[in-house]
Structure 1
Amino acid sequence: MIVKGYKQAGTGFAGQDQESWTGVWGSVQDLTKSFDCADRDYLAPFFRKFFPRPPGKILEGGCGIGKYVAAYKRLGYDIRGVDFSAETIRRVKDFDPDLPIEEGNIVALPYDDHSFDCYYSGGVIEHFEEGPDGPLREARRVLRNGGVLLATVPYVNLLRRMYFSTGLQRRDKNLLLQKCDQCALDSMTPEGFLFSEYSFDVGSVRPFFERNGFAIEESIPTDFLWGEVGMLLVSTARRLTRQNLDHTKSLDHTKSLRDQPSAGVLGGSYGSLRRSWLYDFLVTEDWEHPWFRLPLRALNYLSGHMVMLVARAV
């Protein structure tokens, strides 16, 4: 199943519109805080497992402010990033001139063939209205044979699949979601809306990977805290505690639970939140922990917001 999403014009990121993404990343005001805690979010277990140590080379395609590049470079990985927002790159380079990020487009990367051992692209390839073939084809070009692609896309989880299988649309003031048969440029975009992104189940996204030279080896739903169940839990916590817990993940990551670093992580100056089992379960989603594996799998299958696709270049 594929679900196509539109957003009200001027209310957030819109497909491959560079200006809207520059605005999104410009809303992240505290770069130090974002860099300090980037190795403690729900992607950390995947990176620990799949990122190669030097001499293996890693590329992040669509790196935004480069927080993962900063965090994992500091941990000793040979990683660099590329993003199409020139203004964002300039801002980050002013903050940290040595950070290995540069301007570029993930459908025409400025690197030689077979330059990298691992390619990570998080929440990027779904924003191409014509479909993800272009970025996947280019990812395959720069990956060595046998290299690993880690890509997250919005996930049509069980709750969403049940909802959209009825033929219903989800529509509110700023958002429209509707089931579609294929990824294609749309001449029937609703008035006042712009294409934003696709959501996929694993079966619908697999053909894109296979025809561009990848074999999906693992598909792991994740990020349930921003899915339906997670948002219900956070909403309940707000009411019970009367605290202003901002879990909209509005891309001002300085306000997100996932941007609160644990004590001592990377020696960060914001290391005030103690590491706890609750943090590791809800925020890091540490599925490597034997007690967490089954409940996390169930929660994410039910209402995971994203799915991590681990693919091998063949």
Structure 2
Amino acid sequence: MRVTYRHANNKEYWTRRWGDIPADVPMQNKTVYPLKYAEQTVTANDGAILEAGCGAGRILRYYHESGYDITGIDFIDVAVEKLRAVDPTLKVETGDITQLRFADASFRYLLAFGLYHNLEHGLAEAVGETARVLQSGGRVCASFRADNIQTRLTDWLTERRARKSGKTMGKAFHKMNLTRREFAALFERAGFVVESVSPVENMPILYKFAFFRARTHKVFDENRARAEGYRLSGLGQLLQDALMRFLPDQFCNIYVLIAHKP
């Protein structure tokens, strides 16, 4: 387990990030993270869904507009407020994954993309709460930052850019980084049966360089990228595919786990 530190703490980072962009439109691209993996988990409209860490709402709005019973929670008030403003029919609220207000076995599915690695404390408690609110036979899909070459390079690039701009990285908690085995073990200890753990490139490291981005992504627009996926140019995609083919555990930036509760 490796911890990433920056000059602003995790909650400050996400408050600023969600404050800077509008609420998401429903996600469109089913071939990329996270919708690709949500669709592998939610195989039928046969029960309630909890999206824990719904953020700007791309997954929450996708399932809501598709007629599913889905509730979203996030620990950042501004994200929840923007989603309520854009669609008052959404079931969305501020919540804490380590202390969920829901009764036991309230949900058939739980989606948690980019949530657990934001916890400095209470990681085991969060996964325990995930198990508690799921029904027997219920499924969870969760992503977590990988501890590998790519995330170390990303942290180095971020630190280098911060220093160039005159900032210091500081020692405020930013995120956890886990290996594939560490991530799976978290859920196994909570009683889950892990079905798969996939190395995934949410934002490929090459996307950080405008040269390798698709033509429509040269000028970065976070809402577009979140709806469409972080699209690379032909050359960029060719290089990224090679990295993921030969060294997937080192050049993914997240692991996506799918598991069920017996």
Q: TM-score normalised by the shorter chain: which range applies? A: 0.7 to 0.9
Asked whether 1:253 is paired with 2:222, we answer yes
Misfit runs of 4+, over 6 Å: none
Partner of 1:205: 183
Q: 1:246 to 1:151 in 2, by over 3 A?
A: farther
Return the letter of the residue paired with 1:35: V
Once superposed, what is the RMSD of the aligned Cα atoms? 3.5
Identify if the C-alpha distance between structure 1 residues 114 and 259 changes in structure 2 by more than 3 Å, giving closer, same or farther: same
1:68-87 equivalences under 5 Å are 68-87=59-78
Q: Deviations over 1:38-70 (max 9, x none)?
A: 554422221222114223221100112222111
Aligned to 1:267: none
Residue 147 of structure 2 aligns to a residue whose secondary structure is coil
TM-score norm. by structure 1 comes to 0.67
SS class of match (2:78): helix
Query: 1:8: which partner in 2?
Result: 7
Query: By how many angstroms is 1:97 displaced?
Result: 0.5
Question: Could you give the per-residue CA deviations for residues 188-225 of structure 1, whole angstroms, max 9, x where no partner exists?
Answer: xx98330111111111223321222222220001126x
Higher normalized helix content (fraction of residues): 2
Structure 2 stretches of 5 or more lacking a match? none
| Pair 1:112 & 2:136 matched | no
Contact 1:113-1:142 at 8 Å conserved across structures: yes
Q: 1:25 and 2:18 equivalent?
A: yes
For the residues of structure 1 that align with 2:89 and 2:183, how far apart are their CA atoms? 36
For structure 1, the residue ranges without an aligned partner over 5 or more in a row are: 177-189, 262-272, 286-291
State the structure with more CA Rg: 1
1:145 aligns to what?
Answer: 136
Counterpart in the other structure of 1:307: 255
Residues 147-226 of structure 1 aligned to structure 2 (within 5 Å): 147-157=138-148, 159-160=149-150, 170=156, 172-173=159-160, 192-223=170-201, 226=203
Q: Distance in 1 between matches of 2:14 and 2:183?
A: 24
**Contact in 1 for aligned 2:53/2:113 (Cα 8 Å):** yes
For the Cα contact (< 8 Å) 2:140–2:260, is it kept in 1? yes
Q: Which stretch of the first structure deviates more once superposed, 70-79 or 58-67?
A: 70-79
Cα 1:151–1:297 shift into 2, 3 Å: farther
